[in-house]
Amino acid sequence: MDYDVIIIGAGPGGIYAAYELAKNRPELKIAVFESGKRLDERGCPIDGVKVKSCINCKNCSIMSGFGGAGAFSDGKYNITNDFGGTLHEYVGKEQALELMRYVDGINLAHGGEGTKLYSTADTALKKTCMQNKLKLLDAQVRHLGTDINHVVLERLFDELNDAVDFFFLTPVERVCPIEGGYRVEALNASFTCTRCIVSVGRSGSAWMERTCRRLGIPTQSNRVDIGVRVELPAALFAHLTDELYESKIVYRTEKFEDPVRTFCMNPHGIVVNENTNGIITVNGHSYEDPARKTDNTNFALLVAKHFTEPFSDSNGYGESIARLSNMLGGGVIVQRFGDLMRGRRSTADRIRDGFVTPTLKAEPGDLSLVLPKRILDGIIEMIFALDKIAPGTANDDTLLYGVEVKFYNMQVELVDNLETRHPGLYVIGDGSGVTHSLSHASASGVFVARDILARLA
């Protein structure tokens, strides 16, 4: 065999798997194949001057390359079983938390020391939420910030580069079972290994689907979260964000009993475009560096949509809605909450005259022409519920950007050690459908590395 272990994908799942393997057994031959670029070569061409919006690069540097989809993220590592994935269903709640804390320790040792760990334990806000039909989920949150997150990734790469063979700009085409292991085919070459860890994340979802079909691995797909990104003056949410940084708050709508939740909260942050398979959606992040902080806070409000038989293309449904917003606005649409409630589109003048200065250049428009009624009703109800714990949320000038879609990878059938029905072929991170966060994806990498180490012993 060319390698003991081949890892496909250099996102958090792949990185922490490689780290754990190399640290404990430096003599192992490990290769990492990554369709994107090295970290220092990654860069999005949008500069706000020459390139104002997404130009659909063949290889999206936001989603691909060393560090994966999280490389330019806000670097929020949530240590919790309440959200971010269902790793605990495979490895148990205690072990899942231990793995996430272990990853936190690695981050601290690689540049994250001094960053703040927020916690919901003992907060009075929990009661305030409950009194207003809202539920604050339990979590500890390590906020690295976009800049420190980058430093941690740089240091991990420097350390791993000596122990691991990295193949960048090398998308794997096929993984084929062979006697005693696997053949991995990429760019007209093939490499063999005893064990293979697949960690292709969200951007590798179509490839993952094809691979599972070819290898006879069952999958399931039935969930998508759709909503908007809310942007408002940071002062309105300061009592929440100063104490918790990110609060995950859930509301159940009165009309449809749909769960609506806050997601990815960025105090003093910016709203950004995100390109998913050529469709422009919205996201957000924030910097640790005080010089890069804004006066606004942004967060997503998402309505979870679970489909039942016979419909199973939940991601296709989400993509169609996002495409509709792209069709109407040429990209992301922004609307004042007051305009939405008055049933009229926002205009550049109304946005300019408002008290909230947008941090993303988006097309003023009408989100009610894009979002299905049930989802829009849920978002409006949630905004009024949040207004009770953070007065001002339902102000006319609150900005709503749409659409934000949280795609879920299909669920790959795995046994408890995250191995497929093919011995030695593991699927981890967001590509497995088990995780959808930095901490869970990273923890799944460490878990599988330990499983392999135990079998090699």
The separation between CA 17 and the C-alpha centre of its own chain, rounded to angstroms, equals 18
**Cα dihedral angle (178, 428, 227, 36), rounded to 10 degrees?**
-70
Selected binder of ligand FAD within 42, 76, 223, 406 (CB under 6 A): 76
Q: Determine the Cα–Cα distance for residues 276 and 316; give it in Å rounded to an integer.
A: 12
360 binds ligand FAD (CB under 6 A): no
11 binds ligand FAD (CB under 6 A): yes
298 binds ligand FAD (CB under 6 A): no
The separation between CA 255 and the C-alpha centre of its own chain, rounded to angstroms, equals 29
Task: Rank residues 31 and 376 by Cβ distance to ligand FAD and give the closer one.
Answer: 31
Task: Rank residues 84 and 378 by Cβ distance to ligand FAD and give the closer one.
Answer: 84
Q: Using alpha carbons only, how large is the chain's radius of gyration in Å?
A: 22
Q: Is 431 helix (H, G, I), strand (E, B) or coil?
A: helix
CB of residue 284 vs ligand FAD: minimum separation in angstroms?
A: 8
269 binds ligand FAD (CB under 6 A): no
451 binds ligand FAD (CB under 6 A): no
Selected binder of ligand FAD within 7, 17, 21, 33 (CB under 6 A): 33
Selected binder of ligand FAD within 97, 382, 441, 449 (CB under 6 A): 441
Residue 376 near residue 400, CB atoms below 8 Å: no
CB of residue 216 vs ligand FAD: minimum separation in angstroms?
A: 19
DSSP string computed for 183-220: EEEETTEEEEEEEEEE--TTTTHHHHHHHHHHHT--EE
* Near ligand FAD in 83-122, by CB under 6 A: 84
Selected binder of ligand FAD within 42, 263, 437, 449 (CB under 6 A): 437
288 binds ligand FAD (CB under 6 A): no
The region of 196-204, 250-258, 294-302, 378-386 touching ligand FAD under the rule CB under 6 A is 196-204
Q: State the number of binding residues for ligand FAD (CB under 6 A).
A: 43
5 binds ligand FAD (CB under 6 A): no
Q: Which of 342, 358, 357, 347 is nearest to 396 (CA)?
A: 342
Residue 311 near residue 320, CB atoms below 8 Å: no
Question: Where on the phi/psi map is residue 429: left (φ > 0), alpha (ψ -120 to 50), or beta?
Answer: left
Selected binder of ligand FAD within 140, 194, 199, 346 (CB under 6 A): 199
Selected binder of ligand FAD within 4, 5, 36, 164 (CB under 6 A): 36
Q: 249-252 and 259-266: which strand pairing?
A: antiparallel
140 binds ligand FAD (CB under 6 A): no
65 binds ligand FAD (CB under 6 A): yes
424 binds ligand FAD (CB under 6 A): no
The region of 74-82, 96-104, 304-312, 449-457 touching ligand FAD under the rule CB under 6 A is 74-82
Q: Which of 439, 385, 431 is nearest to 408 (CA)?
A: 431
Q: Determine the Cα–Cα distance for residues 143 and 112; give it in Å rounded to an integer.
A: 9
CB of residue 424 vs ligand FAD: minimum separation in angstroms?
A: 18
The region of 156-164, 302-310, 366-374, 432-440 touching ligand FAD under the rule CB under 6 A is 432-440
231 binds ligand FAD (CB under 6 A): no
* Other Cβ atoms within 10 Å of 212 Cβ, number: 18
Q: Which of 124, 144, 149 is nearest to 136 (CA)?
A: 124
Residue 282 near residue 229, CB atoms below 8 Å: yes
8 binds ligand FAD (CB under 6 A): yes
Task: Rank residues 64 and 325 by Cβ distance to ligand FAD and give the closer one.
Answer: 64
Quick one: DSSP state of residue 432?
G
Q: Is 155 helix (H, G, I), strand (E, B) or coil?
A: helix
* Near ligand FAD in 155-174, by CB under 6 A: 171-172
Selected binder of ligand FAD within 18, 30, 73, 419 (CB under 6 A): 73
Neighbouring C-alpha atoms within 13 Å toward the C-beta of 290: 0
Q: Determine the Cα–Cα distance for residues 191 and 208; give it in Å rounded to an integer.
A: 19
| Angle made by CA atoms 184, 87, 456, in degrees to the nearest 5 | 50
Question: What type of residue sits at position 284?
Answer: G
Task: Rank residues 284 and 364 by Cβ distance to ligand FAD and give the closer one.
Answer: 284
The region of 12-20, 189-197, 365-373, 400-408 touching ligand FAD under the rule CB under 6 A is 12-20
436 binds ligand FAD (CB under 6 A): yes
Instruction: Report the interface residues with ligand FAD, using CB under 6 A.
Output: 8-14, 33-36, 64-65, 68-70, 73-76, 78, 84, 171-172, 199-204, 207, 264, 274, 283, 285, 429-431, 436-439, 441
